[in-house]
Amino acid sequence: MDNISAFNAKEYNNKIQKTIPYYEDMYKQIADIVTTCEYKNIVWLDVGCGTGKMAEIAMQNTDVKRMVLCDISAKMLDVAGKNYTSDRLEFRQQNILDMCYNKQFDVVTAVQVNHYFRLPQRKQAVKNCFSALKDNGIFITFENFAPNSKNGTQLFINRWYCWQIRQGKGREECKQHIERYNKDYFPITINEHLQLIRECGFKSAEIFWLSYMQVGILAIK
């Protein structure tokens, strides 16, 4: 693999659409929130940018003055840079855990990023996003979440498996992806998500999206 996700960079866009329900809609929801906040000349940081989907949606729908796209994978950044060219975009190979921005951004986004970390590293990642924001800036994240019970977990996983089958994926491919749960990425409950965000200093944290095993959270500094 050329990155930490389940798919190589060149196949990522096609594979992820068949793996995460409402994948592109998540980015549209983010753009809608940013538009609702009525920001002008937005300075935006997208961490774990992957192939640049957030940049595509943001540039089409919001008033972006400057957008910094960070990813730990050089291959992902290469695909993103080829897909989207603009003098308003900057691409940086960087781990979210190593970020040291200080009050530079109006908006920080992290989509399907922090679930790769155990709790101490996850907390550091969110703290780094908090530090990067200007006062009253917004942090928007989508993450996998863990259900609250063993029975609930099994039900949710089975439902997700069936959804992938309906998208045309093979049963063995679906099984292999499901087996990554709690091995290659580490979901936490929704309450744990909210608690962690508040512990990192945000004055508010709200759920604005819930589907299958993904949750969207908006936090304000």
The tokens for 46 are 């997208």
Amino acid type, 33: I
Q: What is the pLDDT of residue 106?
A: 98
Q: Measuring CA to CA, how many Å separate 42 from each of 65, 69, 100, 165, 220?
A: 5, 14, 20, 39, 15
Closest CA to 130 of 40, 209, 204, 56: 204
Q: How many domains does the chain have?
A: 1
Amino acid type, 64: V
pTM: 0.94
Q: What is the pLDDT of residue 56?
A: 94
Angle, vertex CA 29, rays to CA 26 and CA 30, nearest 5: 90
**Domain of 19: which CATH number?**
3.40.50.150
Range of the domain at 77: 9-145+186-220
The pLDDT tens digits along the chain (221 residues) read 666 777 777 788 888 999 999 999 999 999 999 999 988 999 999 999 999 999 999 999 999 999 999 999 999 999 999 888 899 999 999 999 999 999 999 999 999 999 999 999 999 999 999 999 999 999 999 999 999 999 999 999 999 999 999 999 999 999 999 999 999 999 999 999 999 999 999 999 999 999 999 999 999 99
Q: Quick check: is 157 in a domain?
A: no
Q: Quick check: is 161 in a domain?
A: no
Q: What is the pLDDT of residue 20?
A: 94
Q: What is the pLDDT of residue 146?
A: 96
Cα separation of 78 and 76, whole Å? 5
Q: Quick check: is 43 in a domain?
A: yes
Q: What is the pLDDT of residue 147?
A: 96
